[in-house]
Structure 1
Amino acid sequence: GYIQWDHDERVGDDKLDGDIEDGTDVSFPFNQIKSIARYRNGSDVELKNGRKLYLVGSNDVNSENRGIIVDVPGMGRVDIPWKYFEQVTFETPKTSGQSYASYAAPKGLNGKVITLRNEEISGKIIYDLDEEWEIETLDAKDDDVEYEVTLRHVKRIIPRNYAYSQVELRSGEMLLLGDARDVDSHNDGLLIFRSRDDRGQYVKWEEIAEIIFD
């Protein structure tokens, strides 16, 4: 997906800065870079013209890097800390991003909640007493990797314990996410409205076995 480097550079004309081994400062536009790989105290950088360099001395290429954010189609945004980063290979995109027409008007969250008592409640869902639209995000972590998962891409959420939940995407990918109230015991629970005139039924997070979105 599209990448934001060091929480900063995001277009091809932005530049990667660093020092080569003799201490000389160099700078390369990202549209000239083929790949970047973390190595020792810096990074191995390969340019599209075949030139290879080992760069140090800049937060673009060392452990001071603030992280790499990836816009993942069918998921949302993933923020990868430098310590988990290994390598990126850049590709020429076919488009400049999603078109305006691809952003459908929000309809609200709808689905079915199954409780630990095996009760099934279907209708409009307000998640964590806060999120009610599929364009909002489920924010959580896998270790120190931060996820912002757009709710329209979520098929199912299964609380696993007080700290984690299993999140199934519509693509079939499974995530185990925690360390955030959207997926742990700090969640305020759900309101489910069976009809437009319904006053809503409240379900505590600890009573939920499974949430299945339409």
Structure 2
Amino acid sequence: MRHAADNYPDLCLHLSVQGSATSAEAINFYHRQFGIARGVLPRVLSLAQVEHVANNTDVEIEVFGFGSLCVMVEGRCALSSYVTGESPNTHGVCSPAKAVRWQQNPRGLESRLNGVLIDRYTPQEHASYPTLCKGCFEVNDETYYAVEEPTSLNTLGLLPQLLAMGVRAIKIDGRQRSPAYLAQVTRVWREALDQCLHNAARYAVKPGWMAELNTLAEGQQHTLGAYHRAWK
């Protein structure tokens, strides 16, 4: 970022979520140092915290709207490094494709990350992409999702609130996703955004939108994440 700011001053710089800026002070620091035009907030902030950031900076604020739910402070998580030896900051993903394995055996469908068992599914269960923070582990003689359940963030119902508090852009998680996935998700969100921008007071989430996104959600489950409950 320093190289870009010094050598290409006319370049419009956006601060990645991996910059781990969770406050207006952090966003403003990056603005002073590098002249960023927009900052992407991690997925661990409440609506009140997002609003506070947006109201205390001149930098455009972008938040995650749909996709994987990251329950860690992005840019500071070391879980995947522990299992795969590769950090998301340097290799771009929490679960590198080369480390992911699916194995069918008499006990069910198993997902593994670099050989570590992440979860096991019965034929009646919907499998999710193996990430360590959403693994099902044995803790104190109990087997459960110790950190977070496999589910997808979906903020369609929050669009009027996000618009009112000054959020300028919605981010859709597209990393390690297929073109078909991206086409389906962006089509739904484009329609929703257009409806909300046209008349936020009469905006309503259509059942068809939810049904379509449900087919793409992890475990076919949706959540508002930290937007409606405290970060663990």
Report the structure, 1 or 2, having the larger strand content: 1
Q: Place the TM-score, normalised by the shorter chain, in its bin.
A: under 0.3
Q: Which has the higher contact order (CA 8 A, sep 6+)?
A: 2
**TM-score (norm. length: structure 2):** 0.23
**TM-score (norm. length: structure 1):** 0.24
